Amino acid sequence: MKEKRKFGGLAAAVLLGTGMVLGALFISNWDASVAERDEYRSITPVVAADQRSLEDFSETFATIAERVKPAVVLIKSERVVRQTQQRFWRPFEEFFGGRQAPDAQPRPFRGVGSGVIVSEDGYILTNNHVVEDADELEVLLSDEREAKAEIIGLDPRTDLAVIKVDFDDLPVLPFGDSDKLRVGEWVMAVGNPFGLNHTVTAGIVSAKGRGGVLAQNSYENFIQTDAAINPGNSGGALVDLEGNLMGINTAISTRTGGYQGVGFAVPANMARNIMTRLVEDGRVTRGYLGVMIRNLDEVVAESMGLEDSDGVLIEGITDDGPARDSDLEQEDVVVGLNGKEVEDTDDLRNRIADMAPGTVVELDVIRDGDPVTVAIELGELPDVDPTQTASREEQRERSPASNLGIDVMDITREWSRFYESGSGVVIAQVRSGSVAEDRGLQRGDLIREVNGDPVSSVQAFLGIVRQFEAGQAIRFRIQRGNAQFLVGLRVPEE
């Protein structure tokens, strides 16, 4: 084998040497008069022009980076937690860089994230998951100054937050119009991945209007980008090539815990709206219709005599919601809101939520094949939306196992990317102080089996856990990232 490798190396050397000789012969026989021909005369100017274009392009990135970095800060968060057993860390959700050793004693949990200065007097826009539940927040500016920060307001449903430091004349990143951002356009991400301050990455806008990334009751309209985003980038800036803030980097889709080419940012227009309300009121109030909706599919549309599946189907109307007192009916198909076309359920939910309670809206609907306009005065979205949680409440009433403290959902298309194969139900929420939290279960965990029985859907999961009474033990097979393990839970007393 060694002889073969030597021969291969010799052959490569001979080929390379031959190429050099041929190149030298070609150059020595070059007729200078050939360069005067038209087809050759333009080569040098074109190459030079291309080089100048590349240099200009590179200069644009460098200039924007210099302009943006001073307005992006490092946020250090600390909170005291009690750890009762070793936790298995999620490979794909919140971008905190902290670690907590297994210990029964209270210990500080430290995390790092990013933020964007949006006013000269110290208001900073970041992610809710970067700062929520923090006992202490510290902000590190680009000029190495440090300051304690206070939380002005939190909005978990968009994963946005506003904090403030006591400084003046700070560098500010101007908001851009994210609605005008185009798929394929160059963008830059600036943040503090893994605590590496003011890291700049570049990519393009991969898609717009992404949903199904966060929790079920979130309001999402994400910009998707392939600019590298990693743990610590949360709350950082996504900017265009004019240095305008186009989004707040929030989440990634990954099976490894790090960058895999799919990142998500809250659009600047949504972020600015939420920020304004948090600064003015300390909280976000949202418009509320009180209806249960889903996207219309071709089969249902055909059964209703409709020509296409455009629109949002009203599946139900809550008893105490604003729509109950209107002319809206079950099985109406919403095709427009205030004269503008409705694209899908996410579009309708987001637009309604952006309006203030008390606003009167007009819904364009199709009923029995005829167009109808319905006026509704919006109510205020409650902290717990009954249209999202009614079935869960019913489940809790019927099942002692609901006291475990978890809510589950079927694997959606977005969540399926986190798991290469197999079936199960995803833990959508782990309630604070529950036995599930105590045993280390986390949002995003996939429950594959219950006491050895495979789980294929929420219905199948509930069918199994309803059989258990208070005091009985349940065994879950959990997948987290690429790892699988068993977790035993005992159903608590009422």
**Cα–Cα–Cα angle for 282, 284, 290, nearest 5°?**
150
Measured between alpha carbons, how far is 165 from 396 in angstroms, rounded to an integer?
43
Neighbouring-strand partners of residue 333: 313, 366
- 8 Å CB contact between 92 and 444: yes
Measured between alpha carbons, how far is 111 from 99 in angstroms, rounded to an integer?
8
Measured between alpha carbons, how far is 128 from 423 in angstroms, rounded to an integer?
31
Measured between alpha carbons, how far is 127 from 236 in angstroms, rounded to an integer?
9
Determine the length of the chain. Answer: 494
- Whether the CA torsion 245, 251, 253, 259 is positive or negative: it is positive
Query: How many beta carbons lie within 10 A of that of residue 465, not counting itself?
Result: 24
* Cβ-proximal residues to 143 (8 Å cutoff; 6+ apart), any chain: 70
Residue with tokens 């879950």: 476
Known active-site residue 234: yes
Helix (H/G/I), strand (E/B), else coil: 264 = strand
Residue with tokens 């021969």: 7
Which H or E run contains 77? strand 72-82
- Select which of 77, 155, 159, 445 is catalytic: 159
**Cα–Cα–Cα angle for 428, 432, 433, nearest 5°?**
135
- 8 Å CB contact between 361 and 375: yes
Measured between alpha carbons, how far is 78 from 137 in angstroms, rounded to an integer?
7
HEC secondary structure over 305-353? CCCCCCCEEEEEECCCCHHHHCCCCCCCEEEEECCEECCCHHHHHHHHH
- Select which of 77, 206, 234, 402 is catalytic: 234
Neighbouring-strand partners of residue 107: 81
- Select which of 77, 114, 129, 332 is catalytic: 129
Tokens of 20: 């050099």
Known active-site residue 129: yes
Measured between alpha carbons, how far is 449 from 465 in angstroms, rounded to an integer?
11
Q: Which runs of E-coded beta strand occur in 83-122?
A: 106-117
| HSE-CB of 141 using CA atoms within 13 angstroms | 23
Enzyme catalytic residues: 129, 159, 234
